[in-house]
Every structure is written in C-alpha cells, then in structure tokens.
Structure 1
Amino acid sequence: MDHLLMLLMLLWSSGLQAEDKHQPTGSQCESTAKANIVLLVCESKNTTSEDHENIKSFLTQVVSNFNIGPDKVQIGLLQCNDRSQTQWDLNAHQTKQSLLEAVANLPQEGGDYYIIGKDLKIIRYEFFQPNAGARSDSQNILILITDEEFRYDVFFSSQDLRDDGIEIYTIGVKNVNEAQLRSIASDPDEIHMFSVIDFSFLLDIVANLTINLCNSANSLGRQRVCYHQTVIHVNTTLICWCQN
C-alpha cells in the first residue's frame, strides 16, 4: 500500500492530465515464471467474420498481458473443427511481436462439427511435447474457446490431460453446454470456467482470466500479479500496482 501511495503522489505532482485515450482493459502478469499455454479455438459454421475478429481481439489482449519468450511464457494454437488445424506450436513465436502478428493473421476455420476428443489428444501428444517447445520446468495450461456444444462426452479425454498435470480453462460463447465445460475444466470451476453471451463480450473477461492464468503460471514459483486500477483526482489516470 505504501508503494501505491507513493505512486499516487508521484502522478499528482507530475501534473498528468487525463487525456486518457486508453481504457483499462485488464491486468498485466508480471512474472519470471515460465508457462506453456495452448489455445484451442473452436469456431462453428455459425461463427461470423465479426465473431472471428472479436476472437482475435480477445487473443491479442491476452497475449499482450504476458511476457513472451523462450524462458518466459510460450503460446501455441490449435483450431478445432471437422479438420483440425495446428496454426503454430509453443516454440514457433519467441517474441511478443511475432506472436501478435500470428494472431492478427489467424484464419477463420469454422466447420460443421468438432472432433474434440481428437483435438485433446493432439494437444496432449503433440503440443505438450519437448519438440513442440514444451518445457518440463513450466506449468502446462490449456485454454479452450468454443461457441457450440460438443456432440460427445469429453470428460475422459480431458481427464487424461488433467492427470498429466495440465491445467484446463474453458470459455463458452453463445450456444454452449455449461455443464459440459465444467466437466472439462480444472477445479475449481469458478476460476477455470467462463461463459459469455456473445463474442463481443470476450474482452470483459480478460482481466479475471489474466489474473487466474498468472496465478497458474506462478504455481511453480512465486506469485506476482499486477492489477490495473482507475484513480480519480481532478482527472482520470490509469495506474498499476503489484501484489506479492
């Protein structure tokens, strides 16, 4: 709290004006911990081009909130539909800029149905492997994003990943079966399962998701999460402090 007061006094004395053109969109994860994060993005045939752009905006914000690098956080991505597409492995993009460019160029790959059991096996046996960039001293995390209910029970397929120590987050959009997403997600559900009514609301969960992911990444090391807060004096200023 002393650090916060010092920062507030510094901001006040510097006479910063609130021409704040940037809105607080979430939290930054400041950590030296390593993490292997795989994004499993499931877009149905009903996913519109606008929906896809909202997904990319969401992924851009998530990536922006982490320190990306070979000795930091690495992020891979698999698109699931009737023909699963590996877009990039964990070690494919070693800088944040390269990863953000990959997200910006992410193609829309909607399909008629998902073979989610196969996708989970791809993640287990292909993504979380040393040759794909997975590091043994890093926390393994899966983030599943879907806008449709899966046809088959995926509890046992997801249980294999959880048994391997892979922490699973699920994000449901629109026509999802929340009970199904809870069965896939790691416990507790209130931390690992998110649901929004439309793709345009994905940005609303970035802050909480980042905090939870940061805690997960730091589960093998010391936690250090940075929160954004809006402070109002005469003007509005975006500040940030860290809680150890």
Structure 2
Amino acid sequence: MTGRADQVELKEDEEKRLLKNLFRPDEKHKQIVLHIAFSCYNHWLTGCSRDVVFLIDDTTSINPIEFQNILYFLGNVINHLDIGPSATQVAMVTFDSGSHVQWYLNTHQNKTTLLSALHRVHPYGGNEHAADALLFIESNILVGSHGDRPSAPDVVLFLTDGHSVDGRLQHAAQQLRAKSSDIVAIGVEQADMLDLVNIATDRQHIINVRDFQSLLPVVSRVVSLICH
C-alpha cells in the first residue's frame, strides 16, 4: 500500500513535469532557453487564501514563443501558491477582441489539474479590448456561481504588451476595483504605461519588464502582491 509520503512525492513529481512541459521550444527555437529553478519548489505560501484571476493578453502582437513564456511565468506563480478550496483558487481569462474563459475559480481545486489546464491554453489573436475584458471579469468571473468566495479577497493579475484600442478603460478598471480588492498590472515591452496606471490598484501594483523572458524574475514580487 502506498504511504502518504510516497503519494505526496508522486504528486510533486507530476507537478514538476507539468511545469517543465509549459515551455518546450521546437527545433526552430532551440536557442531560447529558460532556467527552471526547483530549489524552492515545496516552499509555497500557506495561509494565503485568495481568489485570483489571471487576465492575459493573447493578441496578435504576442507570438507563440512569447505566449509560452507567459504560461511558464504563470505556472511558476501557481507553483508558489497553496491551491485548494480553502486556500487559493485561480481562474484564467485570455482576451483580445473578445474575452475567453479558460477556467473558472472553482474549476480546478488542486495544483496538478491547474497546471495541466495551463498547459492546454492557446492564444486566439486579435486586437486588444482590455476594457471589455475587465468588465467581463467583474460580471462573469468574480461571482459566487463560479466560485468567488465572500471570505477570500479577490486579486486580478492583468498582463499585456500593448495598448487598449477602446476608450473606456479607466471606467472599466474603476468598476472592477470596486469589486476586486487588488489589481496587479504587468506590462511587457511596449505596454502603455497610462493603461497600466488606470488599471492597477496603485503604482506599487505595476510591474514593467523589458521582454517576455524577463517575467520569471518577478514571480516572487507578484506572489508577494497577491498574498500581502
């Protein structure tokens, strides 16, 4: 009979495999290498009960390799959180000219299935309509029927590399902030700083990185903002 320690070890091995598989460059892109650091693998945060929504830009300005970097970054964020119905729940929505639900807060209740779902996410492409996406989160994701818990603070992690083409961004962000306790805004490359300022809770919740491979070093900061 398999002991509890063996079961935990098997579960952790599966989570590591899923995290590694989030970035598997093809022959054309073998020169792109990401360092996978598992030294702190088991040091996830306990006592952090949050309802977290990943709101991720998947417009045509982001190529497939860059999108894989985003998924790898998100996998590492998940890896640092204690996932479960009484701990942290995670939903994911990708957006372009429309908003696409990848899963709801109550869809995946453990880290293994969550990482597996992340591995299956693919970009749609299109123009960036961030205001519509923010309003979509407010009315369709942060609701009790899809797992939002009154006892758990809501945190939205917004990531983009561009500029919203609609003019209602500030209003939409204000409406979402009225419902969500925190919005962390991450801008990559040429992301519009004014958009990030309008979206984020405050300037301390804005993170800028020069390229998609530079997302990995800010994982700890993102986790700290989620669980502060």
CA–CA separation in structure 2 for the residues paired with 1:115 and 1:147: 13
Per-residue Cα deviation, 1:60-102 (whole angstroms, up to 9, x for no partner): 1000000101111000001101132111000000110000001
2:24 aligned with 1:48: no
CA–CA separation in structure 2 for the residues paired with 1:165 and 1:55: 23
After the TM superposition, which residues 186-201 of structure 1 pair with which residues of structure 2 at under 5 Å, given as runs?
186-187=201-202, 189-190=203-204, 192-201=205-214
1:103 corresponds in structure 2 to 118
Question: What is the identity, as a one-letter code, of the residue corresponding to 1:200?
Answer: Q
CA contact (8 A) 1:29 1:214 kept: no
Between Structure 1 and Structure 2, the one with more helix by share is: 2
Between Structure 1 and Structure 2, the one with more strand by share is: 1
Change (3 A) 1:25 1:207: farther
More displaced stretch, 29-38 vs 138-147: 29-38
CA–CA separation in structure 1 for the residues paired with 2:130 and 2:153: 23
Find the structure with the greater CA-based Rg: 1
CA–CA separation in structure 2 for the residues paired with 1:33 and 1:92: 19
Q: How many residues align?
A: 192
Per-residue Cα deviation, 1:195-215 (whole angstroms, up to 9, x for no partner): 111111110111111122121
Q: Provide structure 1 residue ranges, at least 5 long, that are not aligned to the other structure.
A: 1-20, 216-244
Aligned with 1:177 (options 171, 181, 192) = 192
Question: What is the identity, as a one-letter code, of the residue corresponding to 2:198?
Answer: S
CA–CA separation in structure 2 for the residues paired with 1:25 and 1:53: 22
What TM-score do you get using the length of structure 2 for normalisation? 0.79
* Two-structure CA RMSD over aligned residues (Å): 1.9
Question: What is the identity, as a one-letter code, of the residue corresponding to 2:51?
Answer: N
After the TM superposition, which residues 118-197 of structure 1 pair with which residues of structure 2 at under 5 Å, given as runs?
118-153=132-167, 154-187=169-202, 189-190=203-204, 192-197=205-210
Offset at 1:24? 5.3
CA–CA separation in structure 2 for the residues paired with 1:25 and 1:72: 19
Structure possessing the higher relative contact order (Cα contacts under 8 Å, 6 or more residues apart): 1
CA–CA separation in structure 1 for the residues paired with 2:213 and 2:42: 19
Secondary structure, counterpart of 2:215 in structure 1: helix
CA–CA separation in structure 2 for the residues paired with 1:144 and 1:25: 25
CA contact (8 A) 2:52 2:89 kept: yes
Change (3 A) 1:206 1:25: farther
Offset at 1:162? 1.3
Offset at 1:109? 1.8
1:75 corresponds in structure 2 to 90
CA contact (8 A) 2:106 2:147 kept: yes
CA contact (8 A) 1:120 1:158 kept: yes
Q: Provide structure 2 residue ranges, at least 5 long, that are not aligned to the other structure.
A: 1-35
Offset at 1:151? 1.8
